[in-house]
């Protein structure tokens, strides 16, 4: 039986070893590498040429989206699954847009992870119902502009309007204009609500 050669990438060693244990427990799965961050994952992919990757979404130095983009620029057919705790619709959208073939949460059962690996290796996408629901909601959401996203990040950092204006070298009126648009698109009325929704959806990182 030919083994499915798998590269695991997660910045938490306990999680890496736990996922490796699940993978190694299958007769036709083989762990060929365990990376601690996105940069290491890209290097290991180039060195070991695995059949499939299981990557955490947020890692130091380079997150999974950037790692997937780098890997697929050299190997467009690369098969990578996200295995993470983050279920925000924007997180899911960014990962799938980058080329991830599956998106699993870390509270998935061993059987679900194994099923996902087999499906993606066979050339199918694997999106659990809960993830598909979040993705469907994302499709119907109004998308923030690049400038609105930048201001939302500063808002989440606790900056006041005057600080944001100085940081971006724009007028206070322009800041207020963008914030009103952000509130409208997110369906909120206050700064705190905007930050809470942004973090839940993955528009900004905590």
103-162 pLDDT, tens per residue? 999 999 999 999 999 999 999 999 999 899 888 877 777 888 999 999 999 999 999 999
Q: Each residue of 81-117: pLDDT tens digit?
A: 999 999 888 889 999 999 999 999 999 999 999 999 9
Q: The pTM is what?
A: 0.79
For 6-38, give one letter per residue: b (16+ CB within 10 A) or e.
bbbbbbeeebbeebbebbeebeebebbbbbbbb
* Beta carbons within 10 angstroms of residue 80's beta carbon: 25
Nearest-angstrom CA–CA distance, 156 and 164: 11
Q: Which domains does the chain have, with CATH numbers?
A: 4-139 (3.40.50.2300), 146-201 (1.10.10.10)
């Amino acid at each position: 039986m030919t083994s499915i050669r798998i590269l695991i990438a997660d910045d938490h060693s306990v999680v890496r070893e736990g996922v490796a244990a699940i993978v190694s427990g299958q007769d036709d799965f083989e762990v060929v590498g365990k990376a601690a961050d996105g940069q290491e994952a890209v290097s290991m992919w180039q060195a070991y040429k695995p059949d499939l990757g299981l990557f955490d979404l947020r890692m130091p130095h380079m997150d999974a989206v950037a790692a997937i983009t780098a890997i697929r620029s050299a190997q467009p057919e690369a098969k990578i699954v996200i295995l993470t705790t983050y279920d925000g619709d924007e997180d899911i959208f960014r990962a799938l847009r980058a080329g991830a073939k599956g998106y699993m949460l870390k509270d998935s059962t061993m059987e679900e992870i194994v099923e996902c690996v087999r499906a993606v290796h066979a050339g199918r996408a694997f999106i659990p119902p809960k993830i598909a629901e979040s993705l469907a909601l994302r499709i119907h959401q109004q998308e923030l502009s690049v400038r609105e996203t930048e201001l939302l990040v500063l808002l989440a950092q606790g900056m006041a309007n005057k600080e944001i204006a100085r940081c971006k070298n724009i007028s206070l009126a322009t800041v207020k204009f963008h914030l009103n648009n952000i509130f409208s698109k997110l369906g909120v009325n206050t700064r705190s609500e905007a930050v809470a929704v942004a973090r839940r959806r993955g528009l900004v990182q905590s």
